[in-house]
Amino acid sequence: MMRRAIVVVPVSAVALALGLGFGVPWLLGLQAEHLYKDAVADLAAAGYRVVQSEYRRDWLESTALLVIAPAASDAAEPPQLQVASRIGHGPGIDNLLRWPPVSATARSRVTVIGGPRQLPPLLVQTALEAGGAVATTLGLPGITYSGHAGSLQLVDAQGELRRGGDGDDWSGRGELPLLEAMDVAGKALAMRGLGWRFGVHGLTAGVPVGEGALTLETLQLDATSDQPPLEIAGVLMRLETAVDAGLACAKAELRIDQLSVNGSAFAPSQLRLALIGVDAASLSSLLDGLRQLDARALPESMRGLAIGALLTQSLPGLLSSAPRLKVEKLELATPFGAVTADGLLAVSGSDGSNGAPNAGSDAGFGADFAPGQSLAQPLGWLQRLSGEAQVSAPQALVLQVMIDEQRRRVQRELMNRGEPADQLPARLEEEMQAAAQASLLSLIRDRWLVADRGRLSASAVLSDGRLTLNGKVLPINGWTGS
């Protein structure tokens, strides 16, 4: 009896292991197929046309073919995307050696069908991790093209995407080391070191919370008939969003280390903005409305009208919690010197407060403005605005801007008469510059601008329906009709 038990135990263990070995790949295959078809359904819900969708599930590996296209339009048939995938599930060696543990992997080739020229495929590898997280790497092999339209070279674009198990947590990064293009006339574009990264840590009150950044090492663009040569280096663009106590906020930053336009330097320059106190629930509703519009795939003319109507309807709710837009720093380098500015623009509540309404109260900016009235009563909106700003610029720059504006006006008048306007006569050029100089001196004399050691400054305050510029009060009641 004891000998029989000793024999039965290992046989049972082997049978159980065989059952798991055969059963687990089948279950994982079902899970992979379910996730794949959900992704295809999401594409269809987003407005794409699913031209072809095939899925064949085997024991350890499945194959899939998907062809999608943009929504149908009156124009010619647009190019289509074909995604051919091989999906492995089960105890493969690739899955066993990864961490976190992987239940399925997919290798896909994404190609363009019907484009103007054949492009190399985008290679995509996706891993389904334990817990439902999905990790994806993307790679675009180098492209070298030369034809009647010019030449193009692209070097090894790469990217990574990751979606958390809950579906709301996303992160990614990528880079494009080199992109060079040249047209038939020999005009070239060269871009080096383009990189991006982002992280969305989930939804708070329906609003995505996270950060993202875009960097660029250098960009050079040759001059064309209507565009001067351009050189840029050291670019950083950054955006951060957060939600606190039902209010959404965002901070944005732009920095440029070097910027040259037609040989004139406009860097280093930077801009920092902050948007504070937007009602998160209203913002979430607006984002949902925009997603629904995308799914409807409206024609461009109808889409613009629909977005305008949605924004008009959403505006009172977005402003109900007295949001504030702050220019924390603006510093723009010019050949004449730096332009600097800072400022704050706020929307007051219906009780005149500049903060959020009390909890449980419906008093706010939108309380006495029904949807659709936001544009019909612009004076009411202006009276709720308050803020202040300070601007300083080199006097030589302001004069040059006024001269350029005078020149454009004279050239328009000459063209209306049918006379040549590219090169102004010397006498007319002198008169035009004298008129600009006189206009600037008049602005300084009347204190619209304050002169100090070669710079001009202005200080503005907006409050109680009045704009005060350097101490001079300008009522805004007459700016717009009812």
Q: Provide CB contacts within 8 A for 53, sequence distance 6+.
A: 40, 64, 65, 66, 67
Note the pLDDT tens digit of each residue in 21-59. Answer: 445 677 877 888 888 888 899 888 877 889 999 999 888
Please, what are the averages of pLDDT over each run of 10 residues along the chain (482 residues)? 40 38 68 86 84 90 91 70 88 59 87 81 88 88 79 89 84 94 85 95 90 96 84 96 94 96 91 95 91 75 84 86 93 95 83 42 38 48 85 95 88 82 81 90 93 94 88 70 43
Closest CA to 317 of 395, 398, 372: 372
- 404 alpha-carbon distance from chain centroid: 33
Q: Locate tokens 């363009």: which residue?
A: 112
What local confidence, expressed as pLDDT, does residue 44 receive? Answer: 86
Beta carbons of 265 and 259 less than 8 angstroms apart: yes
Amino acid 359: pLDDT: 34
Instruction: Sketch the domain layout of the chain as residue ranges.
Output: 1-141, 389-479
Find the Cα–Cα–Cα–Cα dihedral 364, 368, 370, 375, rounded to 10°. -90
Q: Are 436 and 403 in contact (CB under 8 A)?
A: yes
Closest by CA to 103, choosing from 91, 93, 114, 115, is 91
pLDDT at 335: 92
For the stretch 334-393, pLDDT in tens is: 999 999 999 999 987 544 455 433 333 333 333 344 444 444 455 566 778 899 999 999
Place of tokens 């009780």: 351
Whether 330 contacts 341, CB under 8 Å: yes
Instruction: Find tokens 């997919």 and name the residue.
Output: 106
State the first-to-last Cα distance of the chain, in angstroms, to the nearest integer.
101
Written as six digits, the tokens of 158 are: 């790469």
In angstroms, rounded to a whole number, what is the distance separating the alpha carbons of residues 229 and 215?
Answer: 21
Indicate whether this model's pTM tops 0.75.
yes
CA 95 to chain centre: 36
Residue with tokens 């309380």: 367
Beta bridge partners of 208: 203
Contacts 24+ apart (CB under 8 A), 222-228: 222/186, 222/187, 222/188, 222/189, 223/187, 223/262, 224/187, 228/261, 228/262
Paired residues of 245 in beta bridges: none
- DSSP letter, residue 367: T
Torsions phi, psi for 9 (to 5 deg): -60, -55
Beta bridge partners of 84: 65, 109
Beta bridge mates, 452: 455
**Three-state SS for 287?**
helix
Encoded amino acid at 316, one letter:
P
